[in-house]
Structure 1
Amino acid sequence: MTAGALFQTLWNIAVGRADLGYGIRDFDLFFHDADDLSYDAEDRIIQRCQRGVEGLGVELEPRNQARVHLWNEQKYGRNIAPYRNLAKSLASFAFTSCPVALNLSRDGMFTTYAAHGYAELYSGVLRPSPTGIAPADVHSAKAASYRAKWPHLIELPLTAP
């Protein structure tokens, strides 16, 4: 699991919100399967995950990160190289405070990962990621949306690449 479900929960804790799910739209599940880049293969995983949470009132968004380069240019106007692994995918998030993940290993143990560390996540800093792929308009919209819900966040300016 990655993204908003994690960092937004921490932002809710930081402001003392009783509703820890406030602002969380969905739960992102990233996986990396470079052996089959077809949408059909990704959709089989999506459908399997959806069946696993049926009736729980949870919106899951499983996505094969090995496929991002296939649709990113059409969606965001940027041609990007394929991600070789999940760490590269996470590092491409718009802000350094956001690429966090929780991984369940085969032996049932959870580990956490933060592509740029945890300091800015805990201090509420929205620093543009040096490896981010979001265009300026997407970056600005995300920052505005986050700050509307979590006013304690500190947005740092986007610098030209």
Structure 2
Amino acid sequence: MLLTPEVLVGIAMTNPVNVQIASRLPSLGLSQCMLTAGCLFQAVWNYQLDLPPASGVKDYDIFYFDSDLSWEAENEVILETQQLFKDLGVKVDIKNQARVHLWYGERFGRPCPRLESTRDGVDRYLVAGTCIGLDPETGEVYAPYGLDDVGRGVLRPNPQNLQPDLFVHKARSYQERWPWLRILESSSQGDG
């Protein structure tokens, strides 16, 4: 499937939860705010299998960037977000990308460099093609590796975040939900 930013957004917005989140997010006034990850690319995979757009979506990820690195400031945003979306009946996961380096090592057993923007956070997904974010205010799609892999169902490691064990775990979890996906375990491996 040829996937352009416009087609991605069109398919992602067939999920009414994405529509509601994207329309309400700007009211939080968060810097560099993006709807990101599975709720976007998984809608494309569902579309290709004629499944409901939210099928297999575990949560709705939102990234923002705030130089206040305190847990209290992030927790306030988390609570505001929960209140804003409580009627949707889904898990919304919001994270300040400026704070990721403070907790990542403890959670995943390896360090994460200090991120300088929300885009830096999107750039760190384990699967290259899933590095996708949507700015709800402008409608701009950020996809540093393009959209071809998502359109073709290819899962390859992110060359900026090579963690083979975590990549395989993540890729297999996607493949369990969408069996047609192809895993390429080497980022330099060809697609043919």
For 1:21, the equivalent position in structure 2 comes to 54
For 1:120, the equivalent position in structure 2 comes to 149
Q: Distance in 2 between matches of 1:53 and 1:116?
A: 30
Q: Distance in 2 between matches of 1:116 and 1:127?
A: 11
Higher helix share: 2
Q: Is the 2:154–2:184 contact (alpha carbons within 8 Å) kept by the matching residues of 1?
A: yes
1:1-161 superposed matches below 5 A: 1-17=35-51, 19-34=52-67, 36-105=68-137, 109-132=138-161, 135-158=163-186
Q: Distance in 2 between matches of 1:56 and 1:88?
A: 28
Q: Distance in 2 between matches of 1:9 and 1:82?
A: 30
Q: Deviations 1:47-96 (Å, cap 9, x if unpaired)?
A: 00110011221211010011111111111122222111111111111011
Q: Distance in 2 between matches of 1:58 and 1:128?
A: 28
TM-score normalised over the length of structure 1: 0.89
Q: Distance in 2 between matches of 1:56 and 1:157?
A: 36
Greater mean deviation of Cα atoms: 41-50 or 76-85 = 76-85
Q: Distance in 1 between matches of 2:131 and 2:171?
A: 15
Q: Is the 1:97–1:124 contact (alpha carbons within 8 Å) kept by the matching residues of 2?
A: no
Per-residue deviation, 1:138? 2.2
In the alignment, structure 2 segments of 5+ residues that lack a partner are 1-34, 188-192
Q: Which of structure 1's runs of 4+ aligned residues deviate more than 6 A?
A: none
Q: Secondary structure at the match of 1:139?
A: helix
TM-score normalised over the length of structure 2: 0.76
Percent identity, aligned pairs only, is 34
Q: Secondary structure at the match of 1:104?
A: coil
How many pairs are equivalent? 153
Counterpart residue identity of residue 112, structure 1 = V
Q: CA RMSD in A?
A: 1.4
Counterpart residue identity of residue 21, structure 1 = A
Counterpart residue identity of residue 11, structure 1 = W
